[in-house]
Amino acid sequence: MNPGGVFGRIPNPYPGKLFIVEGIDGSGKSKQLGLLAQWLRSQGHLVIFSEWNSSPIVRETTKRGKKRQLLTPLTFSLIHATDFSDRVERDIVPALKAGAVVLADRYVYTAFARDVARGVDRQWVRSLYRFAVTPSLAVYYRVPLDVALYRILSGRPKLKWYEAGMDLGLHTDPSESYRLFQKRIQEEYERIVPEYGLAVMDATLPVEAQQRVLRDLIRPHLHDIVRDPRTVSPEPEWHP
Amino acid sequence: MAPLKHFESYGQGIPGTKLDDLSGWLIVIEGPDGVGRTTHVNRLRTHLERLGYAVAETGFTRSDLASKGIHDAKEGNTLGANAYNLFYATDFADRLENQILPALRAGFVMITDRYIYSLIARAIVRGADPAWIKQVYSFALKPDAVFYLRITPQVLVPRVLADGPFDYWESGMDVPMGEDLYDSFVRYQGRIIEELDALARDYAFHTLDASRDVDDMAEELCDSVTRQLTRKAAGPAA
Residue range B151-160, pLDDT digits in tens: 998 898 888 8
pLDDT of B76: 66
The answer to whether B15 faces chain A, any CB pair under 8 Å, is: yes
pLDDT tens, position by position, A84-130: 999 898 889 999 999 999 999 999 999 999 999 999 999 999 999 99
Query: For A145-165, what is the mean pLDDT?
Result: 87
Instruction: Please say whether the beta carbons of B46 and B40 come within 8 A.
Output: no
> Measured between CB atoms, does B132 come within 8 Å of chain A?
yes
Q: How far A85 CA sits from the closest chain B CA (Å)?
A: 5
What confidence tens digit (pLDDT) does each residue in B161-200 have? 777 777 888 888 777 777 788 888 889 999 999 999 999 9
Contact B62, B95 (CB under 8 A): yes
Domain boundaries, chain B: 25-234
The pLDDT of residue A3: 43
**CA–CA min distance B39, chain A (Å):** 30
Of the candidates A4, A89, A123, which has its C-beta nearest B82's C-beta? A89
Å between B12 CA and nearest CA of chain A: 7
Q: Do B78 and A124 touch (CB under 8 A)?
A: no
B13 chain-A contacts, CB cut-off 8 A: 121
pLDDT greater than 70 at residue B228 = yes
Distance CA A184, CA B136 (A): 24
A60 exposed, middle or buried (CB, 10 Å; 0-12, 13-18, 19+)?
Answer: middle
Of the partner residues A57, A73, A85, the one whose CB lies closest to the CB of residue B86: A85
Predicted local confidence at residue B48, as pLDDT: 96
How high is the pLDDT of residue A127? 96
Residue A235 has pLDDT above 50, yes or no: no
Would the CA dihedral through B88, B90, B91, B92 be positive or negative?
positive
Query: If you ran DSSP here, which 8-state letter would residue B56 be given?
Result: E
A-chain residue closest to B140, CA distance: A74
Q: pLDDT by residue (tens digit) across B95-111? A: 999 999 999 999 999 99
Which residues in chain A have their CB less than 8 angstroms from residue B15's CB?
72-74, 77, 118-121
Query: Given phi > 0 = left and psi -120 to 50 = alpha, else beta, which region is B106?
Result: alpha
Q: Which CATH superfamily is domain A17-221 in?
A: P-loop containing nucleotide triphosphate hydrolases (3.40.50.300)
Q: Cβ A4–B129 below 8 Å, yes or no?
A: yes
The ipTM, to two decimals, is 0.89
pLDDT beyond 50 at A2: no
Average pLDDT, chain A: 89
Which pLDDT band holds residue A223 (cuts at 50, 70, 90)? confident
pLDDT number for residue B81:
85
Tell me, what DSSP letter sits at residue B169? T
Residue A239 has pLDDT above 60, yes or no: no
What's the rounded mean pLDDT across residues B87-95? Answer: 94
Q: What angle do CA B140, B146, B150 make, to 5 degrees?
A: 125
Q: Would you say A201 and A210 are in contact if contact means Cβ atoms under 8 Å apart?
A: yes
Cβ-defined contact of A60 to B86 (cutoff 8 Å): no
| pLDDT at residue B238, rounded to an integer | 40
Q: Which residue of A has its CA nearest to B74?
A: A57
Nearest to B139 among A70, A74, A88 (CB): A74
For residue B67, name the pLDDT band (cuts at 50, 70, 90). confident
- Residue A60, φ and ψ in degrees, nearest 5: -55, -45
Give the C-alpha separation, B43 to B34, whole Å. Answer: 16
Which of A53, A72, A93 has the most B C-beta neighbours within 10 Å, making it the best mutation to test the interface with B?
A: A72
User: Per the CB < 8 Å rule, is B97 touching A120?
Assistant: no
Beta strands in B109-225 (DSSP E): 109-113, 145-150, 206-209
8 Å CB contact of A127 and B72: no
> What is the pLDDT confidence band of residue A219, given thresholds at 50, 70 and 90?
very high
- The pTM for the full model equals 0.90
Q: pLDDT-derived band of residue B91, with 50, 70 and 90 as boundaries?
A: very high
B174 and A CB contact within 8 Å: no
- How many CA atoms does the CB half-sphere of A138 hold within 13 Å? 23
Cα separation, A70 vs B69, in Å, equals 14
Section B33-59 average pLDDT:
93
Q: Give the CATH architecture of domain B25-234.
A: 3-Layer(aba) Sandwich (3.40)
| A chain contacts of residue B77, beta-carbon cutoff 8 Å | none
Instruction: Write a three-state SS string for chain A.
Output: CCCCCCCCCCCCCCCCEEEEEECCCCCCHHHHHHHHHHHHHHCCECEEEEECCCCHHHHHHHHHHHHCCCCCHHHHHHHHHHHHHHHHHHHHHHHHHCCCEEEEECCHHHHHHHHHHCCCCHHHHHHHCCCCCCCCEEEEEECCHHHHHHHHHCCCCCCCCCCCCHHHCCCCCHHHHHHHHHHHHHHHHHHHHHHHCCEEEECCCCHHHHHHHHHHHHHHHCCCCCECCCCCCCCCCCCC
Note whether A89 contacts B64, CB cutoff 8 Å: no
> With an 8 Å Cβ cutoff, is B183 touching chain A?
no
Q: Determine the residue of chain B that is closest to A125 in CA distance.
A: B136
